[in-house]
Amino acid sequence: MNKEAINKLMRPKSVAVVGASSQPGKIGYTVLENLIKGGYKGKIYPINPAATEILSLPVFASVSALPEPADLAIITVPVKFANQVAEECGQKGIKALSVITSGYSEVGRNDLEKELIDIAHKYGMCVLGPNIVGSLSNSDDLNASFGPFLPFKGSATLITQSGALLIAMDAITYTRKVGFDKMISIGNMADVDFADLIEWLEDDKYTSCTCLYVEGIKDGRKFIDACRNAKKPIIALKAGTSVHGAAAAASHTGSLAGSAKVYTAAFQQAGVVQASDLNNLFDRTLALSLMPPLKGTNLLLVTNGGGVGVLATDAAEKFGIPLKFAPPDVQEELKKHMPAFGSAKNPVDMTGMAGNDWYYETVKFAYAHPWTDGLVVLYCETAMTSPVEIAQAVKKAMDDSGMKGKPIMVSMVGGTRCDKAMQWLVENGIPAYGPPDQAMNAMAALSELNRIQSMLDKTEVVSDPACAAKAAEIIAVARGDGRTALTEVEAKQIFSAYGLPIAQTWLAKCEDEAVEMAKSIGFPVVMKIISPDIVHKSDAKGVKVNIKDEAGVRESYKTILANAKVYKADANIHGIAVQEMAPSGTEVIVGSVNDATFGPTVMFGLGGIFVEVLKDVTFRVAPVNKSQIEQMLTEIRGAPMLKGVRGELPRDRAALVDVLYRYAIMISDLAGEVSETDANPILVYAEGKGVKVVDARIILKKKA
Amino acid sequence: MNKEAINKLMRPKSVAVVGASSQPGKIGYTVLENLIKGGYKGKIYPINPAATEILSLPVFASVSALPEPADLAIITVPVKFANQVAEECGQKGIKALSVITSGYSEVGRNDLEKELIDIAHKYGMCVLGPNIVGSLSNSDDLNASFGPFLPFKGSATLITQSGALLIAMDAITYTRKVGFDKMISIGNMADVDFADLIEWLEDDKYTSCTCLYVEGIKDGRKFIDACRNAKKPIIALKAGTSVHGAAAAASHTGSLAGSAKVYTAAFQQAGVVQASDLNNLFDRTLALSLMPPLKGTNLLLVTNGGGVGVLATDAAEKFGIPLKFAPPDVQEELKKHMPAFGSAKNPVDMTGMAGNDWYYETVKFAYAHPWTDGLVVLYCETAMTSPVEIAQAVKKAMDDSGMKGKPIMVSMVGGTRCDKAMQWLVENGIPAYGPPDQAMNAMAALSELNRIQSMLDKTEVVSDPACAAKAAEIIAVARGDGRTALTEVEAKQIFSAYGLPIAQTWLAKCEDEAVEMAKSIGFPVVMKIISPDIVHKSDAKGVKVNIKDEAGVRESYKTILANAKVYKADANIHGIAVQEMAPSGTEVIVGSVNDATFGPTVMFGLGGIFVEVLKDVTFRVAPVNKSQIEQMLTEIRGAPMLKGVRGELPRDRAALVDVLYRYAIMISDLAGEVSETDANPILVYAEGKGVKVVDARIILKKKA
């Protein structure tokens, strides 16, 4: 990241508008007008060779005619002139360009975009865009965009790949009362990308939470690293998660959509909370920008209406933060501010009789109590109470409690009076929502934030160069043969190099050798043909199992060899593998894909119908730390299988975690060489008994 | 249903307020004031022994002092007087009571509630409540409640078990712009219940859609019947679907929560669309009250913003109405009203350049085109366009298209200008939503309505009295023995009576008989001990499988008998079952429960890990028609198993459907006698090869 240049981009002391126009309706006019209307305090330099004054500002004929290199140049000229303007900016010593101009890669002109960036980098300039609406910042009174006004004030910052959505979201901030400091249209991300801005925003004191609208990330690893290093919460809405939607997104921005499941995995690993839709993005941003994470599971719910209390309770369970009954001492105290027919259990139902005082006393006690990890205050509009007064009571109770560092939020179910009260709450730093499920979902975001942040740094992933060197040798042999498919024996050698517990497999070159190996392994054994020309061994009748003695080995050797000759007369036969016959266990499958966005990605699932019928698999970008792997083991639907079913002992999770950990390091190390791999099946035994990788497959990347 | 009385309850020509008060703040004052403020045109009779005039109306000392029997008496007096008032109302000839008074079953006074209803029925009166807010109706300018105002005008009618929620929702109708004609607080449902009102609303010309907030239904069957007979769409939000929420709901209303899964099944069977939360209830009610069902799968999406188009596309897939590309002729026409970089595929992206004219032309063409089954128009706020003008263009396009009977809705992503435009749309009969996913979800509701309505009447369920008679004989024998557990042989006899294809099972009383039976069935056979005293046959070593010849039968007979004596010396042994050994097939499980709300309910799932590990089961209230059963087969996660996996032929769905159909009739017929049953496993063979019920279990209800 070119931090100095981005400083100038985001917080310029002077701004040049190249292509400033005197014609209302033109973007070059709108941008200039917005700078002025927004109240920008720095210098504004309109540039237009054909004008002398626009909107009462003196106009410069060209970039070179400027009295100083402006911190930021906003380029609004047509695409045919834009790169030339960039060149002039560079010559002038300008360091930051905001290229509103469109007509670049989004319409297939990747050449023009490359040229633009080459020019920029030649002069050490950073580029926002091209093809953007611009950027807006409340803290600098800077509307450097053609969006009509600065957003409702607050401390979130939006970075969006859709400029149209920026303009719409800007307007929504006022109706939804979700406050932003900055809104940044990132367009084609030809230079400055999500990662750069996330990194820069870490030091921006006006931003407490970063909010992303993502269609397609270009450099997945850079994104993950930037998010992982960020201390501030990040929330993302990923568009194009559906099959048809991904196609629509691709045609819309030209960005690679990647797999929605891999994005979800990467967000988890990066510590990014996800939003499910646009409303949810606002809901969760509000909570993340105003409240700390929810650090425990004791969520208390206070309400004046049984019905909304039940709805909120349902929502809590749905969003993964189920309610528990409050402990007896808490209940006892809470009973003091409700009628006899109220309930102090949780939800705490003060009934429709609850006025300001009960809300005050109950919230003050409940928020301060050490049992409470988080508090949701519900209010169902009644004719007898004033929502604004209830809101004020809640705020005062929170302040008077002396407690800090716990999340609290409010849900007000009612009409315009509630809307006003909720605005008051947000302006006073308390997230407020209409329907109770929105509040519960926002609270769940604070819980998710806590969970994924706690999983970021638990285990360091350590890669060993010796493993990679051993793998490189084996791969070199295959490459030397002109092959991209490794044999099972080769694949197992690489797996072994990475410490994966494979079922012992040796390659016999003659019958006697096979007998010797079988004796050494111990009967029964499995024997398989090993030939780069025979991929589907069973089809070639090249597999024999449960071979119990020497005679069996000799007979199998001959038969397999004969069958192979029948199947493919000129097959290059490496020999016959003699393999330990692993006892049966719970079948799992581990594999890898090279995701277009995130690179080597490990897949995990249970074998049999779980993968075949239920497609019950989960992903993580490699390498993966062990706490993430533990999470993988719980997030498949068949997770109970690993606890042992039908009287089985619990399966050896620790051994399985270790396998996934090593597997991910392996595919990460070999990312440059390997296109796909799998270990199918892996047998998982009872706790302490380990696992066995029974079969192994590695396919290399095609090289020119 | 006492229709005449409910007519008077819902559309009274005169209303008495018993307990009318001159003290502002008292419910007896508020109700009277609301009647007047609401503009009620009928006669209002305040009743209070201690006053002569309240709010300028002459007051009557008692019900008996009224000049006529009012159509409706609203009772607001304390509970200790309320039943006496009801008695007086009856004597006066009043036919409808709205009992706002609380202190009945909701606080455990079921005795008082029973007394109230007994009094009412003695005089042919109906009772709304007790423990309610009252009812409100725009079409009669009737605010017969202590809710502060009539709702935003529209054609939906709300029936709610939570009075507090009625007041809050009433206020929300104005901020959400979702119109209602009536809002009815149904309270304890001691007399008039959901079913009565749903039936009555069928003839109410002011109601186009019924909207329910449900905590717990009392008479599940009556509810299903009423909904099934209704022609108007019904939507329900079920509260208490979570474990903790159900407990909260039960403590809040005292109603039985029943199982959330069975409620979902019952709603499906009743033709009721479900809402997921409060916002969703408003969203879906708006669509259902203004638009016809979505009758096909060709949904077209028109937008001016790529980003919101992608979000809408994702939402469409998520809500089960995935988009398809529009056919070439449609695309060709659509291209006329967009720039070259727009997209006519679907979503139809006219780009940010789209103004009123393009919206008008595109919507008019797309709405009229026969390919289009439904249309969603998205608008992402831009600085250059006016949301209200876009709204007007959409409405005019719809009118000018000459097309009717297809759903159309609008999503406007933006600020206050969009909010105003959306209000205009709703007032002009077009549902409008902010974020695109809300619109897509509402469209999905119209699709669900179409689907579940089409499944209501396809198959008549026919029960045969001869089956029931045969079952009664077998049950009588067990009852005679003082047993509640039928033996496997008895259970299979009942299954057989209902035409279920059981694995042939005969009861042998001696060794020779067993041999004869085995020969007749054909080897191999299975043999099992049959004794009401031995429930777990395997524990008693009372099962032998794969018996291949006469010698085996003889030996097994002796061994099983000996083992049984060892296991339980004084066991009452009915004999030994000789059973056909069914070939292996896909295992499924069918069972039944008696749901507290809906009665006999059939459960279906796949055997093995599907039920044990994944809890992958689905329910329907018995009896069930065959189209619902087809639906059951598709809604389990393991559904692909029935298509055949790993090279299997597709399974015999028709035979399985028939088994579920007959099973449901059986448990429905035997509801009075049977508490639980299962058929586990049932083996399903390839298409045309049928199914076999291998094991059968029936447990009878305990009787005094």
CA-CA distance, A547 to A525, in Å (whole number)? 5
Q: With a cut of 90, say whether residue B704 has pLDDT above it.
A: no
- The residue of chain B nearest to residue A253, with distances taken between CA atoms, is B306
Q: What's the residue count for chain B? A: 704
Residue of A164, A242, A415 with shortest CB distance to B317: A242
Task: Spell out which residues of chain A touch residue B240, defining contact as CB-CB under 8 Å.
Answer: 310, 313-314
| Enclosing H/E stretch for B594 | strand B586-595
Q: By C-alpha distance, which of A294, A636, A243 is closest to A453?
A: A294
Please state, in angstroms and rounded to a whole number, the distance separating the CA atoms of residues A421 and A336: 26
B349-369: pLDDT as tens digits: 999 999 999 999 999 999 999
Q: Does A241 touch chain B (CB under 8 A)?
A: yes
Residues B619 and B591: their CA atoms lie apart, in Å, by: 9
What is the C-alpha to C-alpha distance for residues B128 and B150, in angstroms, rounded to an integer? 19
Residue B622: pLDDT band (50, 70, 90) is very high
Neighboring chain A residues of B421 at a CB cutoff of 8 Å: none
Dihedral of the CA atoms A401, A402, A406, A408 (nearest 10)? 40
Of the pLDDT bands very low, low, confident and very high (cuts 50, 70, 90), residue B538 is: confident
Taking an 8 Å cut-off on Cβ atoms, the answer to whether B171 and A414 are in contact is: yes
Which has the closest alpha carbon to B98: B124, B119, B71?
B71
Chain A residues within an 8 Å CB radius of B30: 383
Residues whose CB is less than 8 angstroms from the CB of residue B169 and which lie 6 or more positions away in sequence, other chains included? A413, B151, B158, B160, B183, B213, B278
DSSP state, residue B97:
E
CA B318 to chain A, closest CA, distance in angstroms equals 8
CB A592 within 8 A of CB A603: yes
| Angle A663-A667-A668 from CA coordinates, rounded to 5° | 110
Residue type, A550: E
* CA-based max dimension of chain B: 101
A539 and chain B in contact, CB less than 8 A: no
pTM above 0.90, yes or no: yes
Question: Torsions phi, psi of B599, nearest 5?
Answer: 75, -150
What are A30's two structure tokens?
């709108």
Residue from B361, B162, B360 nearest B253 by CA: B162
Q: Chain B: give the shortest CA distance to residue A80, in Å.
A: 18
List the structure tokens of B215.
């905590």
pLDDT score of A243: 77
Paired tokens of B680: 């586990």
User: Taking CA atoms, what residue in A is nearest to B147?
Assistant: A383
Pair type for strands B134-137 and B180-185 = antiparallel
Pairing between β-strand B691-693 and β-strand B674-684 as defined by DSSP bridges = antiparallel
| Nearest CA-CA distance, residue B290 and chain A, Å | 22
Closest Cβ opposite residue A245 in set B175, B242, B317:
B317
| Structure confidence at residue B256 (pLDDT) | 39
Q: What is the pLDDT of residue A253?
A: 41
CB contact under 8 A, A244 and B313: yes
Residue A459 is predicted with a pLDDT of: 59
Mean pLDDT of the B528-547 span = 91
pLDDT at A677: 94
Best probe of the B interface among A100, A167, A310, by most B CBs < 10 A, is A310
CB contact under 8 A, B25 and A380: no
pLDDT at B614: 84
d(CA A271, CA A284): 15
For A575-615, the DSSP string reads EEEEEE-PPP-EEEEEEEEEETTTEEEEEEEESTHHHHTT-
Confirm if B363 and B393 have CB atoms less than 8 A apart.
yes
Across B387-502, the runs of DSSP E, i.e. the strands, are 408-413, 432-433
Phi/psi at B345 (nearest 5 deg)? Answer: -75, -50
Burial class (CB in 10 A: 0-12, 13-18, 19+), B370: exposed
**CB-closest option in B240, B322, B645 to A613:** B645
Interface probe, candidates A311, A317, A350, A634, chain B, greatest B C-beta count within 10 A:
A311
3-state SS of A154-213 is EEEEEEECCHHHHHHHHHHHHHHCCCEEEEEECCCCCCCCHHHHHHHHCCCCCCCEEEEE
Confidence of residue B516 (pLDDT cuts 50, 70, 90): very high
**pLDDT band per the 50, 70, 90 thresholds, residue B125:** very high
Q: How far is A373 from chain B (nearest CA, A)?
A: 18
Q: Which amino acid is at B339?
A: P
Residues in chain A: 704
How far off is chain B from A151, nearest CA to CA, in Å?
A: 11
Q: Name the token pair of A23.
A: 């014609």
Q: Which of B214, B244, B378 to mutate to test the interface with A (most CBs of A within 10 A)?
A: B244
- Tokens representing B42 are 């009928």
Q: How far is CA B635 from CA B83, B485, B534, B589, B628, in A?
A: 49, 32, 37, 15, 10
A637 CA to chain B: closest CA distance, Å?
7
Per-residue pLDDT, A610: 85
Q: Which residue has the tokens 């509260």?
A: B239
- C-alpha distance from B315 to closest chain A C-alpha (Å): 8
- Of the pLDDT bands very low, low, confident and very high (cuts 50, 70, 90), residue B459 is low
Q: Is A26 on the interface with B (CB under 8 A)?
A: no
- Which DSSP helix (H) or strand (E) runs through A184? strand A180-185
- Residues of A within 8 A of B134 (CB-CB) are none
Question: Quick check: B213 pLDDT over 60?
Answer: yes
Indicate the helix (H) or strand (E) that contains B357. helix B356-368
Residue pair A221/A243 in contact (Cβ under 8 Å)? The answer is no
Q: Are the beta carbons of B436 and B308 closer than 8 angstroms?
A: yes
CA–CA dist A572, B127 (Å, integer): 90
The ipTM of this complex is: 0.91
Helices A306-318, B243-253: axis angle to 10 degrees equals: 170
Separation between Cα atoms, residue B75 and residue B98, nearest integer Å = 6
Residue of A239, A384, A612 lying closest to B311 (CB–CB): A239
H-helix segments, A481-510: 488-497
Neighbours of B480 (CB within 10 A): 8
- Collect all residues with Cβ–Cβ distance below 8 Å to B510 and sequence separation of at least 6: none
User: Is A415 in contact with B278 (Cβ distance < 8 A)?
Assistant: no
pLDDT > 70 fraction of chain B, expressed in percent and rounded:
97
User: For B25-54, how does the pLDDT look when each residue is reduced to its tens digit (9 = 90+)?
Assistant: 899 999 999 999 999 999 999 999 999 999
Alpha-carbon distance of B195 to B270, in angstroms, equals: 11
Q: How far is A476 from chain B (nearest CA, A)?
A: 37
pLDDT at A457: 65
Please name the member of A240, A384, A437 whose beta carbon is closest to the beta carbon of B277: A437
Test A107 with B341 for CB contact under 8 angstroms. Answer: yes
Is the CA virtual torsion B580, B586, B587, B588 positive or negative?
Answer: negative
> B252 and A414 in contact by Cβ < 8 A?
no
Chain B CA closest to residue A149:
B383
Query: Six-digit token pair at B544?
Result: 């032998």
Residues of A in contact with B381 (CB under 8 A): 167-168, 171
Residue B254 confidence (pLDDT) above 50? no
Between CA A449 and CA A212 the distance in angstroms is 15
The whole-number pLDDT of residue A250 equals 56
What DSSP string runs through B243-259?
A: HHHHHHHHHHH------
Low pLDDT (below 70) residues in chain A: 247-258, 457-460
Any A CB within 8 A of B172 CB: yes
Distance CA A382, CA A350 (A): 13
CB < 8 Å to B324, chain A: 244
Residues paired with B696 in a beta bridge = B679
Neighbouring-strand partners of residue B379:
B412
Chain B residue with the nearest C-alpha to that of A162: B307
The alpha-helical segments, DSSP class H, found in A402-464 are 416-427, 436-454
B341 touches chain A (CB under 8 A): yes
Written as six digits, the tokens of A253 are 């921005």
Token pair belonging to B464: 């045969």
pLDDT band at B248 (very low <50, low <70, confident <90, very high): low
User: Would you give the DSSP letter of residue B674?
Assistant: E
Average pLDDT, chain B: 94
Among A279, A242, A273, CA closest to B318: A242
Q: What is the pLDDT of residue A577?
A: 95
Is pLDDT larger for residue A256 or for residue B622? B622
Q: Contact A251/B614, CB-based, under 8 Å? A: no
pLDDT score, position B644 = 87
Residue A551 belongs to what H/E stretch? helix A550-567
Contact between chains at A383 and B146 (C-beta distance less than 8 A): yes
Q: Which chain B residues are closer than 8 Å to A215 by Cβ?
A: 307, 310
Contacts with A239 from chain B: Cβ below 8 Å? 307, 310-311, 314
B137: phi then psi, degrees, rounded to nearest 5: -145, 120
Flag whether residue B264 sits within 8 Å of chain A, measured between CB atoms. Answer: no
Is the CB of B417 less than 8 angstroms away from the CB of A343? no
Instruction: Pick the closest to residue B175 from A415, A432, A438, A418 (CA basis).
Output: A415
Cis omega before residue B347 (within 30°)?
yes
Distance (Å, whole) CA B193 – CA B207: 18
Tell me the sheet residues that pair with B682: B588, B693
Q: Which residues of B touch A148 (CB under 8 A)?
A: 383
With beta carbons less than 8 A apart as the criterion, state whether A393 and A357 touch.
yes
How many angstroms separate the CA of residue B302 from the nearest CA in chain A?
13
Question: Which of B30, B383, B638 is the closest to A613 by Cβ?
Answer: B638
DSSP state, A94?
-
Sign of the dihedral defined by the CA atoms of residues A471, A472, A477, A482, in that order: positive
User: Least CA distance to B436: which residue of chain A?
Assistant: A278
